[in-house]
Structure 1
Amino acid sequence: MAKQLDYHTIYEIFTRFRDAEPEPKGELDHTNAYTLVVAVALSAQATDVGVNKATKELFKIADTPEKMLALGIDGLTEHIKTIGLFRQKAKNVIKLSQILVDEYDGVVPSSRAALISLPGVGRKTANVVLNMWFKQPAQAVDTHIFRIGNRTGIAPGKDVDAVERAIEDNIPAEFLQHAHHWLILHGRYVCKARKPMCGNCILRDLCPFEEKNL
């Protein structure tokens, strides 16, 4: 775990992220708040690419809780059977859809507590929805962000909650809305787990990672 970087270094890092990609986008396909909740819930232990393939046809016929319930668990399962843990995920999606209909008039709530109360929706999923759809500066810490936070010293922490707090505490407010996506995309395509592409990294001169490669 690297030491916490100072404010000025972090500011420079996120200035570079912003200059390179002013409006970073998530890679899960969705059309509304509901399909985003479903897509993120399905993405646990699965790739965004795999989820997008499974939901391409699904969301054409079931883009609301009501339509998902009409499709039913068997119909949903048929669409998502290529995704890991698809049986449990199908049950969760049907259950959360029923709750949205019964308790929220079919509308996805903008409260973290309400989102977390839905089956299959944890804090990370809730934060993704709050960030991407409701434009709140929530930070969803996945394996990429956890790795980068500790490897670079941007947001070191022993667990995901600690890294989330470090991001909120140490990254300047003007960058928080997009910090989540900048870090995820950087971890996915540059600062990889086993073979980080340090030679192509825009942060190379600022990063304290001791195993930087050429």
Structure 2
Amino acid sequence: MRNIQPKGCGFQVIVRRNYTSIYCHTFRKLKDAIKARNKIESENRLTTIDDHFWTYVDRSNGPESCWEWKGSTVKGYGRFNTARGYFLAHRYSYEAAFGPIPANTLIDHICFNHKCVNPKHLRPASNMQNNEHRHGPNRNNRSSGIRGVTWDKNRKQWSVKVMHCYHCYNAGRFNSLRDAEQAAINLRNKLMTFNDLDRTQPTTK
């Protein structure tokens, strides 16, 4: 009688006469059964997590509307807590619908609603593209309320400046607020690709 490690078998088998193959076959069946059970348990856990996630989402307004996250938030974004840690809700929703998110990729809210987790309202974007897709003025702009347009007190005109890739582009000064807004839009359309509102939203009347 001796101990051996049969090829392809993760268990030590005692060789006694002609029982080696029987023992090895038994242990292989046991390993396969354990793997199958673990796979089923893993799938069940994922299903449970997924079901748990959607209990925090309001989808009552239909498939095309914003699906509001009703759970906890962090910096305005939905936060989904699990035993493995927490996930940003919109990123979890995107991965559930479309698969893994590439490294160093952000998920942009097309609808500008940070609590929305509707996959139709989400898209992958680089940091630059995410910064391009904005609406409204900068936080320090209290004069015009329009993105890229500020009041020049010295010249008594509307000044147009657009920031892109850490550079400031000057489009000049205008007497009309509408002309200044249109100049800002035209310049952003020239510099950017993810500025959806500039391509769809009418200018100030």
TM-score (norm 1): 0.23
1 or 2 for the larger relative contact order (CA 8 Å, sep ≥6)?
1
TM-score (norm 2): 0.23
- The higher radius of gyration belongs to 2
